[in-house]
Amino acid sequence: MSSSPSTSAETGDNLPSSTNNKPEHVVQFYQDDKFLIDAVSGFVGSALAAGDAAVLIATGAHREAIEQVLKQRGLEVGKAARQGRFLALDASETLSKFMVDGFPDEERFKEVIGAPLAQAASSVVGDRRRVAAFGEMVNILWATGNYEAALRLEQLWNQLADKHSFSLLCAYPISGFNSAKHTEAFLKICAEHSAVFPSESFLAMSREEDRLRSVSLLQQQAVALQNEAALLQSEQRFRLFVEAVRDYAMFMLDTQGNIATWNAGAERIKGYKPWEIIGQHFSVFYPAEDLRADKPARELRIAAAEGRFEDEGWRLRKDGSMFWANVIITAIKDESGRLLGFGKVTRDLTEKKSAHQDLERAHEHLEQEVIERRKAEKRLHRSEESLRQLSLHLLRSQDEERKRIGRDLHDSLGQCLAMLKINLDSLQLSLPSSEGQALSKVAQCVQLSEEAIREVRTIAYLLYPPMLEEMGLTSAIQWYLEGFSSRSQIKMSFEVAPDLERLPRPVELALFRVLQESLTNVHRHSESETALIRLFEENGLVVLEVEDEGKGFPLAMLDENSEDLPSAFGVGLRGMNERMGELGGSLELKPANKGAMVRAVVPRKQARPEIEQQNTTSEERTSAA
């Protein structure tokens, strides 16, 4: 790309010519708005004077000033606008049309900017359809700190040049690049342009010697700026580290002891937000007795004289609560030894001190604690014994209540339902065959009464089977399996040791309940077509096993390492597990060859004979009633 820099900004000779066959993209840096207005006026005016077109995209104030200068130079701006050779657009309004989520959208940009460029080019007479364009939108993005969006917009202008023929002038105030953090972005901006023109202060230098001196000065400032940026990055990383530390309160004090900085650890330990504490004197952290002793000032004097001060003591939080703190104050001095301030690090040792005090008290009262512990163990033992007795009482009460309800259902409700069915049968026989609708309804009632009778009998037997008391566990199991098999259509197999004698009543009742609950689970959950029940005795232990060939149990329920295995069972089996435990036995759920197995084990000889005696007495009282 070619250009002819000149010291005259008014003529626009230092900017790309609109008559050049090769599109150019130039950036102009400036310090004063007047220089910018003169430069853009010369750039746009030369295009209009040559019969070309111009597109001016500027802020309101700049756009009005540029048009005024063009008119003062004798250019008929209004006529050019009517001919379509001069288009003036507002930079902010135009920018808003193609920005999406704070970033320029490529397709929208092509549509919004391509249309005026094409319109301006079509208004030029002849084959030379050249357009001079000025865009101030990049400066708006840069001024708002959206550097990445400004760079992207410069790239989109370059891509647009592949389709439209135009020469583009962009401009930035040099004051917008006043920090080391702008260096990288500045270089990228320059790289997107075919030519870069410095500000008016450089162009105003007439002698080459002055320009060389200026360049040398800029080089020296660039090196210094790079060093400053590196130091700034290092300081920033250290500052971020200090601010992120949460276990220590780390902050700076000025020479008078006023707080200058505040990190996250200080906020967590002391409770103050930065804006609440910065500027206050650090003595606000000291209790009243320390303030009366002038302790804060004394600590600063020692730190200033010796370079460092360390102490442990009570300090105050914002809410007035106390904490035990380890405090280190370090004097900050320059190379000449002049005091600049203090660095203060505080650590909350309240838990450590409390633990130390607890340890001391523990040693002092060890003997008393042993005595109290023994008393507590005795109370716990009594509580456990009371809980066991309560559990036994609840189990007995539950069995007695089941027995009573079962008898009531069988003897009372069952008889009523039987009479109801007899009456319905008689009614059905007495109705003539012509009463078809009535006969149908009576037949439905007969069927419902039969189902109710079966349901009542089933509930009564499940609550308390009468054969368990009369014939013993073996006969009760055989009788129960016959009924359960007919109801569930599950094939039952029962293996019992031939020499098994009758067991204590609590043992028989507990094992029968396990059988009921296990078969209920087989019927509801296992989808097994068969069930095998084994009852035998080995080494003084009575064993009941219920095995199915169904889909088994979830693995979590079969985890033998679980400390709370009974919690994996349902409510029924969990209750049976407690009943087994009260009898000195256990309940185990384990996988079988094809399905699952419930195994109940209980001693034949009970360690607590009063259980059977109490149950017998309760049953006798119930029978007498």
pLDDT digits (tens, 9 = 90+) for 533-566: 999 998 889 999 999 988 877 655 545 444 444 4
**Domain 468-625 in this protein, CATH class:** alpha beta
pLDDT at 88: 93
pLDDT at 318: 92
593 or 168, greater pLDDT: 168
- Sequence-separated (6 or more) residues with CB below 8 Å from residue 492: 481, 482, 484, 485, 530, 531, 533
Give me the phi and psi of 541, to 5 degrees please. Answer: -115, 135
pLDDT the model gives residue 294:
94
What CATH class does 245-354 carry? alpha beta
- The model's confidence at residue 222, banded by pLDDT at 50, 70 and 90, is low
Amino acid 619: pLDDT: 46
Mean pLDDT of the chain: 80
Rounded to the nearest 5 percent, the helix, strand and coil shares of the chain are 55, 20, 25
Report pLDDT digits (tens) over 355-409: 877 787 777 777 777 788 888 888 888 887 777 677 667 766 777 777 778 777 7
CA distance 182 to 189: 10
CA nearest neighbour of 445 among 465, 468, 422: 422
CA distance 174 to 493: 98
185's enclosing H/E stretch is: helix 183-191
**Structure confidence at residue 571 (pLDDT):** 57
Residue 17 pLDDT level (bands cut at 50, 70, 90): very low
Task: Describe the strand order of the beta sheet including 131-135 as a list of residue ranges.
Answer: 86-90, 53-58, 131-135, 167-173, 25-30, 195-197
| Crossing angle of helices 147-160 and 183-191, rounded to 10° | 10
Is pTM, for the whole model, over 0.85? Answer: no
Is residue 54 scored above 90 in pLDDT? Answer: yes
pLDDT at 125 exceeding the cut of 60: yes
Picking from 4-18, 20-34, 473-487, 534-548, which range would have the lowest pLDDT averaged per residue?
4-18
pLDDT one-digit tens code per residue, 487-537: 889 999 999 988 888 888 888 888 988 888 888 888 888 888 899 999 999
DSSP 522: I
pLDDT in tens, 178-203: 776 777 778 888 888 888 888 665 55
CA distances from 341 to 283, 498, 599 (A): 15, 97, 78
Task: Assess whether pLDDT exceeds 50 at residue 428.
Answer: yes
DSSP at 410? I
Choice between 611 and 454, residue whose per-residue pLDDT is larger: 454
Tokens of 2: 């070619």
Topology adopted by domain 25-204: Rossmann fold (3.40.50)
Higher-scoring residue by pLDDT: 621, 452: 452
E-strand ranges in 174-235 read 195-197
Q: What is the pLDDT of residue 296?
A: 94
Q: pLDDT at position 207, please?
A: 53
Q: What is the 3-state secondary structure (H, E, C) of 116-171?
A: HHHHHHHCCCCCCCCEEEEECHHHHHHHCCCHHHHHHHHHHHHHHCCCCCCEEEEE
CA Rg value for the chain: 49
CA dihedral 436, 440, 441, 444 (to 10 degrees): 170
CA-nearest of 128, 91, 136 to 112 is 91
What's the pLDDT score for residue 556?
56
Confidence band, pLDDT 50/70/90 cuts, at residue 622? very low
pLDDT, residue 447, reads: 85
CB 316 within 8 A of CB 226: no
